[in-house]
Amino acid sequence: FGVTINVQKCTFGVSELDFLGHHLNKDGIQPLSSKVQAIQDFPRATNVRQLREFLGLINFYRRFLPGCAAVLRPLNAFLAGVKAKTSPLAWNPAAEEAFAKIKNQLANVVLLTHPRSDAQTSIMVDASDTAIGAVCQQLIDTTRVV
């Protein structure tokens, strides 16, 4: 397959691991606390380049954030039709609320659990005027786990 493994960079036999911005253990996966703190400390963007930087950080962890597209809608609206990276942003109350809400949601993310091979699995899809999405979920003990 053309895969080369560098044994010095491998870790074997550990119960938990930090990998590509995530903390993995036997219970599931969650964002690294240092990355979440960096997003919490991110200042309010003053231009388009800074806003894109913030949105990139948030989008990396969007699978932990239910309704992320809807929450970010006021911030994404700043990018419509803008060409210059240094274009200033005219913040409004909706954008302020979205900025604070998404940071708060990321600070309170839940653990994403590993799938169970013995559980009933289904795929749910949805679309609205603002976003489309899909979720793979499992039914475990009469509780839907996403």
- Per-residue pLDDT, averaged over 82-88, amounts to 82
Q: Which of 1-5, 96-100, 101-105 has the lowest mean pLDDT?
A: 1-5
Q: Could you report the per-residue pLDDT of 14-43, keeping only the tens digit for each?
A: 999 999 999 999 989 999 999 999 999 999
Domains of the chain, residue spans? 31-111, 115-146
CA nearest to 111, candidates 140, 144, 59, 146: 146
Please state, in angstroms and rounded to a whole number, the distance separating the CA atoms of residues 13 and 34: 24
CATH number of the 31-111 domain: 3.30.70.270
The pTM is what?
0.76
Cα within 13 Å of Cα(94), Cβ side: 9
